[in-house]
Amino acid sequence: MPLKINLRHLEEHEVRLQGELPAGELDFDLHDELIRAEKPLRYDLTAEKLHDAVLVQGRLELTLDCQCVRCLKSFQTENRFGALGGAFAAGRRGQGGH
Q: Per the confidence metrics, is the pTM higher than 0.85?
A: no
Residue 67, pLDDT score: 95
Q: Report the residue count for the chain.
A: 98
* CA-to-CA separations, 52 to 7, 14, 29, 79, in angstroms, rounded: 10, 15, 32, 32
Residue 28, pLDDT score: 76
What tens digit of pLDDT does each residue of 62-97 get? 999 999 999 999 999 999 988 767 777 766 544 434
Average pLDDT over residues 24-50: 87
pLDDT: is 7 or 46 the higher one?
46
pLDDT: is 8 or 28 the higher one?
8
What tens digit of pLDDT does each residue of 39-70 get? 999 999 999 988 888 888 899 999 999 999 99
Residue 7, pLDDT score: 82
Q: What is the dihedral of CA 38, 87, 92, 22, to 10 degrees?
A: 10
